[in-house]
């Protein structure tokens, strides 16, 4: 099958008004990735070398996301919503280039898996002209029914057009379709709109193929895979299914999770074997964790890299550009942004480290703030290897500490500190002996007068 060429036609012209959102429906994320990007990644994994995304009018943002996720994608515009077959034909020029397999998928059905698309392609390789994904929903209301007779898929009847007996059929159309490229355009051109919705139904390709002496096949899939998203509630259901899949994949890959149901992952989270994730950890997009690292409870990570054996949290916040080296410790209530922690460095408690490099083995004391922002611009802080920053210090960037330098607790550091020196940037302590007892006796005298 691998030598068969494959074009994916991704229908993304949906209006999405039931989402009640300014964001186009197919750009809503699941697992921190737009639904459209999921579908494009899946068609690519299923072997589609080419792809056309069919968008509605005024859908520039959808087209842009399509090109980001699948740079070679073509964009076709469907100016009027006249039905799924009409939408596919918006890509007529590309269809006519001649592909062995044409896959039609919906951009609002993000959970479809590449293995399923491959099964549909295998049905084509096995001689079917049309292959569809069938499933048995808990509630078949609204779905097209698969009409099977003599062990063969004869037709798909849309819910609105189905009679009583047909509505009793439980096997439904999941919406995906694979078409033999040699017949696709001819079949699609023959589809009419004499039906309840006055739409050009893609599903009519099945009956037309049979009428032309071609064969149609159905491949059974689970309901979760063909779950379409039209509302925010369905978006949340799709998210739940995806999260279950991501957690299961992580566990299968050797990640330890004590309470997997409480861990929130992104579609692109990369966790090595023997990483431990404690309960209630949130992974935003772009996080990679190397082996042996432990992410303690209630940590929140986004666009961060965590090196081998690093210990993070509890209650740590790693923001974009956090690069955490081997054996680093980032403790509770520590926030890191655009900062590199070289191997073995530590910030164990209550600190903000932004726009910085913290050298190998350096120690950032409790309550240290890297003052990186002056109200208009961001500035960098460099901490040399083995340097020690005493607790409750402020490092006012741009500033650097040389290797092995010390900063006394409570300092405000505004000038560079050379290697191996001590910097103190605080008011010298004053001690007034006997002052407290004098105060107490004054107070006592005052009380007697009353
Ligand atoms: C479709 C199937 C139905 C199946 C169901 C599964 C058809 C005719 N019916 O019905 O058999 O059980 O999906 O969920 O295909 N679209 C366009 N342009 C159009 C019309 C639709 O791009 O003119 C896109 C929509 O944005 C959506 C997809 O095609 O992504 C499906 O359209 P929709 O109207 O939701 O079809 P259903 O009635 O759900
Ligand atoms: Mg639908």
- Residues marked as catalytic: 349
The verdict on the CB of residue 173 being under 6 Å from ligand 1 is: yes
**What pLDDT is attached to residue 209?**
98
Name the one residue in this structure whose structure tokens are 């592909």: 99
CATH of domain 6-226: 3.90.550.10
Which of the listed residues 77, 139, 175, 235 should we mutate to test ligand 1's pocket, taking the one with most ligand atoms within 8 A of CB? 175
**What pLDDT is attached to residue 15?**
73
Closest ligand to the CA of 227? 1
Judged by phi (left if over 0) then psi (alpha if -120 to 50, else beta), residue 322 lies in beta
Q: What is the 3-state secondary structure (H, E, C) of 84-153?
A: HHHHHHCCHHHHCCCCCEEEEEECCCCCCCHHHHHHHHHHHHCCCCEEEEEECCCCCCCCCEEEEECCEE
**What pLDDT is attached to residue 448?**
62
pLDDT in tens, the chain (450 residues): 558 999 999 999 877 788 999 999 999 999 999 999 999 999 999 999 999 999 998 889 999 999 999 999 999 999 999 999 999 999 999 999 999 999 999 999 999 999 999 999 999 999 999 999 999 999 999 999 999 998 899 999 999 999 999 999 999 999 999 999 999 999 999 999 999 999 999 999 999 999 999 999 999 999 999 999 999 999 999 999 999 999 999 999 999 999 999 999 999 999 999 999 999 999 999 999 999 999 999 999 999 999 999 999 999 999 999 999 999 999 999 999 999 999 999 999 999 999 999 999 999 999 999 999 999 999 999 999 999 999 999 999 999 999 999 999 999 999 999 999 999 999 999 999 999 999 999 999 987 655
CA atoms within 13 A on the CB side of 35: 31
Residues of the chain with CATH 2.160.10.10: 232-423
Domain 232-423 has what CATH class?
Answer: mainly beta
CA atoms within 13 A on the CB side of 66: 27
Quote the Cα angle for 113-71-31, to 5°. 40
Ligand 1 atom at minimum distance from 54 CA: 22
Look at ligand 1, atom 20, and give the residue with the nearest C-alpha.
Answer: 83
Measured in Å, residue 84 CA sits from the centre of ligand 2 at 10
Residues of the chain with CATH 3.90.550.10: 6-226
DSSP structural state of residue 262: G
Distance CA 67, CA 367 (A): 45
Ligand 1 atom at minimum distance from 86 CA: 23
User: Are the C-beta atoms of 216 and 234 separated by less than 8 Å?
Assistant: no
Name the one residue in this structure whose structure tokens are 């698309």: 117
Partners of 219 in the beta sheet?
A: 133
Distance CA 450, CA 127 (A): 107
The verdict on the CB of residue 143 being under 6 Å from ligand 1 is: yes
User: Are the C-beta atoms of 383 and 358 separated by less than 8 Å?
Assistant: yes
Which of the listed residues 62, 106, 201, 235 should we mutate to test ligand 1's pocket, taking the one with most ligand atoms within 8 A of CB? 106
**What pLDDT is attached to residue 1?**
53
The verdict on the CB of residue 81 being under 6 Å from ligand 1 is: yes
**What pLDDT is attached to residue 151?**
83
**What pLDDT is attached to residue 16?**
75
**What pLDDT is attached to residue 147?**
97
The verdict on the CB of residue 145 being under 6 Å from ligand 1 is: no
Distance CA 305, CA 272 (A): 12
Cis peptide before 304 (omega within 30 of 0): no
């Amino acid at each position: 099958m691998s030598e068969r060429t494959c074009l994916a036609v991704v229908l993304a012209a949906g209006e999405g008004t039931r989402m009640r959102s300014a964001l186009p429906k197919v750009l809503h994320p699941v697992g921190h990735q737009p639904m459209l990007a999921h579908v494009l990644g899946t068609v690519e994994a299923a072997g589609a070398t080419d792809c056309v995304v069919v968008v509605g009018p005024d859908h520039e943002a959808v087209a842009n996301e399509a090109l980001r996720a699948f740079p070679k994608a073509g964009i076709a515009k469907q100016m009027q919503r006249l039905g799924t077959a009409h939408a596919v034909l918006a890509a007529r020029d590309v269809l006519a280039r001649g592909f062995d397999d044409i896959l039609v998928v919906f951009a609002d059905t993000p959970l479809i898996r590449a293995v399923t698309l491959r099964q549909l392609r295998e049905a084509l390789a096995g001689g079917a002209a049309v292959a569809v994904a069938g499933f048995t929903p808990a509630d078949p209301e609204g779905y097209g029914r698969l009409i099977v007779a003599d062990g063969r898929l004869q037709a798909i009847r849309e819910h609105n057009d189905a009679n009583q007996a047909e509505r009793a059929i439980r096997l439904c159309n999941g919406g995906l379709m694979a078409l033999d490229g040699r017949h696709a355009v001819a079949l699609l051109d023959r589809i009419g709109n004499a039906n309840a919705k006055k739409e050009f139904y893609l599903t009519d390709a099945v009956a037309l193929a049979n009428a032309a002496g071609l064969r149609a096949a159905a491949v059974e899939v689970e309901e979760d895979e063909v779950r379409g998203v039209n509302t925010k509630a369905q978006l949340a259901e799709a998210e739940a299914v995806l999260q279950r899949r991501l957690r299961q994949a992580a566990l299968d890959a050797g990640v330890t999770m004590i309470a997997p149901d409480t861990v929130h992952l992104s579609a692109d989270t990369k966790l090595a074997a023997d990483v431990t994730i404690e309960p209630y950890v949130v992974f935003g997009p772009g996080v990679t964790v190397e082996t042996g690292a432990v992410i303690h409870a209630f940590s929140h990570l986004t666009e961060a890299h965590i090196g081998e054996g690093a210990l993070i949290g509890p209650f740590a916040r790693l923001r974009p550009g956090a690069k955490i080296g081997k054996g680093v410790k980032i403790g509770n209530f520590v926030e890191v942004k655009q900062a590199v922690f070289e191997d073995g460095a530590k910030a164990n408690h209550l600190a903000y480290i932004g726009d910085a490099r913290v050298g190998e083995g350096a120690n950032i004391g409790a309550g240290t703030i890297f003052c990186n922002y002056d109200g208009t611009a961001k500035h960098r802080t460099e901490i040399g290897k083995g340097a020690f920053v005493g607790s409750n210090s402020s490092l006012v960037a741009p500033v650097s500490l040389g290797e092995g330098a010390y900063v006394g607790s409570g300092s405000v550091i505004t000038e560079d500190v050379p290697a191996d020196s001590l910097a103190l940037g605080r008011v010298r302590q004053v001690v007034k002996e006997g002052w407290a007892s004098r105060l107490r006796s004054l107070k006592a005298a005052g009380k007697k007068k009353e």
